[in-house]
Chains A and B, each alone.
Chain A
Amino acid sequence: MLIGIDVGGTTTDAVVVDGNKVVKTAYVPTNHDNLLKCLLAALDELVQGIDTRKIERVVLSTTLITNMIAEGKTDPVALVLIPGPGTNPKDYALGKSIILDGAIDFRGKEIDRLKESQIKEAASQIRTQGLSRVAVVGKFCQRNHAHELKVGEILAAALPGGKIELGHKVSGQLNFPRRAATTMLTAATKDRYELFAKDVAAALKERKISSPVYILKADGGTLPLDKSLQMPVETIFSGPAASIMGVLALTKAGRTSVVVDIGGTTTDLALILSGKPLLSAKGARVGSLLTHVRAFAVKSVAIGGDSAVAVSCHALTVGPHRNGPPLCMGGKGPTPTDALRVLGLSQIGDAAKAEEAMQIVAEGLGCTANEAAQKVVDAVVDKIVFEVNEMFREWTEEPAYRIWEIMKKEMLSAQSVVGVGGGAPLLVPLVAARLKAAAIVPEYASVANAIGAAVARPTLTLNLHIDTENGEFSVAEEGLTGRVTDQKMTPEDAGRLARRLLAERAARLGIGEYASEAEVTYSEFFNMIRGWSTVGRLMDVRMEIPAGLLPSWGGC
Chain B
Amino acid sequence: MTAKEFAGQREGLARAHRLRAGLARAGLYVFLALGAGVMLFPFFWMFSSAFKTAQEVATFPPRWLPASLSLRNFAIAFEKAPFAVYFFNSVVITTASVVGTGLVTILASFAFSRLKFKGRDLVFTLLLALMMIPFEMLVITNYETIAAWKLIDTRTALVLPFLGSIFYTYILRNFFISIPDGLYWSARVDGASNWKYLWKVMVPIAKPALTTIILLNAIASWNSFMWPMLVINSTPRRTLPLGLYTFMTEGGMHFELLMAASTVVVLPIIVLFLFARKQIVGGVARGGLKG
The finding on whether chains A and B are genuine partners in a shared complex, rather than unrelated, reads: no
Contact surface of A with B, Cβ cutoff 8 Å: none
B interface list, Cβ under 8 A from A: none
